[in-house]
Structure 1
Amino acid sequence: MQQRPIPGTILFDGAQAMKGYALNRMCFSFNDAVNRAAFKADEEAYMQHYALSPGQADAIRRRDVLGLLAAGGNVYYLAKFAGILGLDVQDLGAAQTGLTKAEFKERLLRHQTQPAAAHP
């Protein structure tokens, strides 16, 4: 099965999963409020504990969610990090599509009200 690229997205496949293992493991830890507080108290030590790559750590420092996706981050785990920043999944979708959050929400609403295309 050949995969078609989707503009603005990074395919999360096995290679990306391996590349992002440490990052995703760290972000999963943010399910626990104690870990979120530990991260906020000393981000550098927290990233070192999870052995993030230099590129992943740099993207964390810059709050570059798209860079984290490119560095192997899975959007579902990155949502935990985004939550620490006060962002939600719509903020992430807007960043991926190059839209403002308001424009992204409007696009979602337009898509929701359009009839589904017929499938042969």
Structure 2
Amino acid sequence: MTSYTAEFDDIPGTRVFTAERAKKGYELNQFCMSLMKEANRERFKADERAYLDETKMSEEQKRAVLDRDYNTMIDLGGQIYFLAKIFATDGLSYLQAVSTMTGMPTDEYQQMMISGGRSPEGWRSIKDGN
């Protein structure tokens, strides 16, 4: 990771998809792409653990998928457009899934976004605590 991209990790709630994350998340993202095929979605829904165990994903990545912890999946190299295959398989809209990443109910998240998103005021640096 370059010093420039490392600075993005200091912004609370921001995860930039870097080359390092792409490499780390390759197997996770390949799993997500496998869900584009109906037969694979059905196999996954029938026995998630067994399907995941057929992949080369790390145990930590598998646990994040099973827990539907999208923030952790992103930290582990998941790219949001690939992760969308998981929440689509679960029957969730993009809005519903992304709202879970904020800890906000879907209707509150939607209203926040309609109103222009989060305020730029407030906590701006993890390391500085402000």
TM range, normalised to the smaller chain?
Answer: 0.7 to 0.9
Amino acid in the other structure paired with 1:25: Q
Question: Which of 3, 19, 22 in structure 2 is aligned with 1:17?
Answer: 22
C-alpha displacement of 1:42: 2.3
Question: Which of 81, 84, 91 in structure 1 is aligned with 2:89?
Answer: 84
CA RMSD in angstroms comes to: 2.0
Paired position in structure 1 for 2:77: 72
**% identical equivalent positions:** 34
Call closer, same or farther: CA 1:67–1:111 in 2, change over 3 Å: same
Alignment of 1:25-36 (within 5 A): 25-36=30-41
Once residues 102 and 50 of structure 2 are traced to their aligned partners in structure 1, the CA distance between those partners, rounded to angstroms, is 32
C-alpha displacement of 1:74: 0.5
Amino acid in the other structure paired with 2:90: L
Give TM-score, length-normalised by structure 2.
Answer: 0.75
- Unmatched 5+ stretches in structure 1: 113-120
Amino acid in the other structure paired with 1:102: D
- Unmatched 5+ stretches in structure 2: 118-130
Q: Determine if the alignment matches structure 1 residue 58 to structure 2 residue 63.
A: yes
Give TM-score, length-normalised by structure 1.
Answer: 0.81
> Counterpart of 1:111 in 2: which secondary structure?
coil
